[in-house]
Structure 1
């Protein structure tokens, strides 16, 4: 039997779908990985994993209707040639246009997964821009056309189906909540904190974007440093200079020179940075279920995050960390100061994080749940 997975970036197959591909191959399925953004070496790695890479054209960020219709038609021809028993699409555009293409190709079963609702469904302090509102309206219209065609639609958290399907009256045959994409826990081994040495170290991981909470992280750091100047704040992640909400390099240089934060950039050894920290902080505005927080929990770190969709799936408030109000650096700083004043809670809550990660975010367990939802 043949199964097609339709995504966008090739790295997603290697980083997030590797265990799924492995499981499908063990069951003697032939797996095709459709990717629209790739490097030749990534295609080679997909091939080495046992899947068959197939490339297609899609403008991930564009909203050109003619281009998107062409994409669906070309996709449907490639799908029809393969004649799979199942097409599984993930990410917004593949879920929309991959679903329409699969239906056009008369595939017997089509399942989609939205790992988050994205920028246009994320509340902003100043409200959505007119451009974002327009894109959101187009997205909703396309979802109303595509999503009812799916046999099942998978979300990572329970808030996303409410905010998309219920709020906009979109009918879907069957909805499932997966609860996170999971991790290979062997790659993020438990590293408990043996002793709380000073200074306390707080860590942020994510793109340097407003909606990821980087500005709130910095503002909270400034508040804390007024009373505890030796406390350390580190931010890991790429700068997206083209994004209007991005932290700019000039701002970053000032923060580094004034010792507000450390910024090593985007690193490949994220496990080491988590292990060297005491508390993980993600004041994001909205997530599917954040992978970075899952990584920190698996290694055994207490978490401070925002009480928003996706993020709230990772923290039991007061048990393995704290949930704080979004857009509130003062509330964030107060929880940071709690850990500074009560360092014994860092170890205790870190242990709780580890236990929750073992139960909720073990990639093997998540993969079993996903295979069950896919009916495989």
Structure 2
């Protein structure tokens, strides 16, 4: 079979889809990976998996009709040339423009993976609400002829069905992108001051401002506790500026660690993994932290709540609630004897539900491969 996988951000394709690409190649399929222009290193990694790479123009953030039409035409041209038997697209623009392109040229086996709703589904001012309406209409049109629509949590699945954006009979659920439990082995806690770590693109809806606010509260009583943020800056309208991060650092509340293509050493060096996000598909970094054996502090929000059994492997707090987040941070600081129990529970949950082998087997079955 010829399979095309369409993403947007090239630097995450190996981490998020590498095992799936390898699975398809090992099964004898011809795999083409499409993202925005990638570095030589990323292309080499894709090639090493046995796949081929084809770039296309895509602006991950914002609504630019000219740029988006260019994206549509380039995907349409590529699919017409490649004539794939199956297409798998994930994240908003690859799904929308890939789905429309597949529909225009009559490709039947288009599969969409909804990895989260993102900024466009958040209510706000006039501009954001207008984008929200447009995105929903585009989703509905692009998914109309899809073979399958794969969700990473039941909340997103239910929303798409209720809004009539997706046919319920075509909807499936998998447990996130999965995590390689062999590559992310459970590790002991480091011998150092209590460290809370947050890994995310620097966006407001990741709860980074709440993390900084809670850190300020906690440090009044526990000044030596560390609060680390790891992740790249972003061009989204919801972005957090470098000046804002610099201010947190100057106040002594946050240590900004920059960005990396290998999160493992940072997770190993922390005690509590924290993600106060407003919404997720199913947060990959949380799964990686769970696999390494870390208690989780996250929000009772779509996607996030799927990773925690309250009091077992961590705690859930309300979104946008700095005080509640700070109180749970203090609980972790004052109850280190509970960490090992929670760490073991996190690892057990990953092995049971979030193993990448199981997730990719489910995706392959849904696609009919």
Q: Please, what TM-score do these two structures have when normalized by structure 1?
A: 0.91
What is the alpha-carbon distance in structure 2 between the residues aligned to residue 190 and residue 330 of structure 1? 31
Q: Secondary structure at the match of 2:220?
A: helix
1:222 positional shift: 1.4
What is the alpha-carbon distance in structure 2 between the residues aligned to residue 45 and residue 372 of structure 1? 25
Residue 36 (1) aligns with residue 36 (2): yes
1:66 positional shift: 5.4
1:130 positional shift: 1.9
Find the counterpart in structure 2 of residue 359 from structure 1: 352
What is the alpha-carbon distance in structure 2 between the residues aligned to residue 169 and residue 87 of structure 1? 19
Residue 343 (1) aligns with residue 348 (2): no
What is the alpha-carbon distance in structure 1 between the residues aligned to residue 92 and residue 186 of structure 2? 33
Question: Retained in 2: the 8 A contact 1:182–1:294?
Answer: yes
Find the counterpart in structure 2 of residue 227 from structure 1: 221
Aligned pairs, number: 369
Find the counterpart in structure 1 of residue 256 from structure 2: 263
**What are the within-5 Å matches in structure 2 for residues 286-301 of structure 1?**
286-301=279-294
Find the counterpart in structure 2 of residue 10 from structure 1: 10
RMSD over equivalenced CA pairs, Å: 2.1
Find the counterpart in structure 2 of residue 149 from structure 1: 145
Q: 1:66 to 1:192 in 2, by over 3 A?
A: same
Find the counterpart in structure 1 of residue 87 from structure 2: 87
Q: 1:70 to 1:225 in 2, by over 3 A?
A: closer
Q: Secondary structure at the match of 2:297?
A: strand
**What are the within-5 Å matches in structure 2 for residues 1-376 of structure 1?**
1-65=1-65, 67-122=67-122, 127-168=123-164, 170-171=166-167, 173-193=169-189, 199-240=193-234, 242-243=235-236, 245-376=238-369
1:72 positional shift: 3.1
1:62 positional shift: 4.5
Q: 1:209 to 1:103 in 2, by over 3 A?
A: closer
Structure 1 gaps of 5+ residues are none
More deviation, 98-107/351-360: 98-107
Q: 1:215 to 1:69 in 2, by over 3 A?
A: closer
1:25-51 per-position Cα deviation (integer Å, ceiling 9, x unaligned): 122111111223323443333223211
Q: Please, what TM-score do these two structures have when normalized by structure 2?
A: 0.93
1:103 positional shift: 2.6
Question: Retained in 2: the 8 A contact 1:34–1:53?
Answer: yes
1:54-81 per-position Cα deviation (integer Å, ceiling 9, x unaligned): 2223333353445544543443333223
Q: Secondary structure at the match of 2:232?
A: coil
Q: 1:245 to 1:107 in 2, by over 3 A?
A: closer
1:228 positional shift: 1.9
1:321 positional shift: 0.3
1:137 positional shift: 0.9
1:186-214 per-position Cα deviation (integer Å, ceiling 9, x unaligned): 322110338xx563221111123221111
Q: 1:120 to 1:75 in 2, by over 3 A?
A: closer
Question: Retained in 2: the 8 A contact 1:192–1:350?
Answer: no
Question: Retained in 2: the 8 A contact 1:8–1:37?
Answer: no
1:67-112 per-position Cα deviation (integer Å, ceiling 9, x unaligned): 5445434433332232221111111111112122223333242211
What is the alpha-carbon distance in structure 2 between the residues aligned to residue 254 and residue 146 of structure 1? 43
Question: Retained in 2: the 8 A contact 1:140–1:168?
Answer: no
What is the alpha-carbon distance in structure 2 between the residues aligned to residue 67 and residue 264 of structure 1? 33
Q: 1:268 to 1:59 in 2, by over 3 A?
A: closer
